[in-house]
Amino acid sequence: MKRRNTPTQEAVLKLLVETDKAMSQDAIEKRIDIDINRATIYRILNRFCDDGTLHKIVAEDGKQYFAFCVKCDDNKLPEQHFHFRCTHCETIECLPSAVHFALPKGYDVQHVNCLLTGLCNDCS
């Protein structure tokens, strides 16, 4: 379904593209340069996920982070790849490493959430 592009959608997407890291809704709300409420941000983020523009990473604390994954496209990474969450700047970035694992016969993996946590290159 084709959706119209709004100034709020453009602002959210622009922030995620320029940041080049995944961000939580509250981090987006703090850094966005237009007046937008929390519910609208969540609606936009979830719509972009449904459209395949963003992907969602759930951290170990249950918090959701959203990424426009340019690195994944550039590196031709598979859909399942590692992410790194920085505990200082509260962002998550896609790492250029494919996820490899083995499962017993009969298991069918539908989603992988591989998250490493620590200090990113900028914060360490």
Each residue's pLDDT tens digit, 8-28: 999 999 999 888 788 889 889
pLDDT of residue 77: 55
Q: What is the pLDDT of residue 119?
A: 94
Which amino acid, one-letter code, is at 21? K
**One-letter amino acid of 121:** N
Q: How confident is the model at residue 3 (pLDDT cuts 50, 70, 90)?
A: low
Query: Which residues are CB-contacts of 98 (< 8 A; sequence separation ≥ 6)?
Result: 77, 78, 80, 81
Residue 86 CA to residue 91 CA, distance in Å, equals 6
Q: What is the mean pLDDT of residues 45-68?
A: 87
pLDDT of residue 91: 79
Q: What is the pLDDT of residues 63-106, one digit of tens each?
A: 899 988 654 555 555 567 788 888 888 778 888 777 788 899 99
Nearest of 46, 55, 44 to residue 4 by alpha carbon: 44
What is this structure's pTM? 0.75
Give residue 22's pLDDT: 87
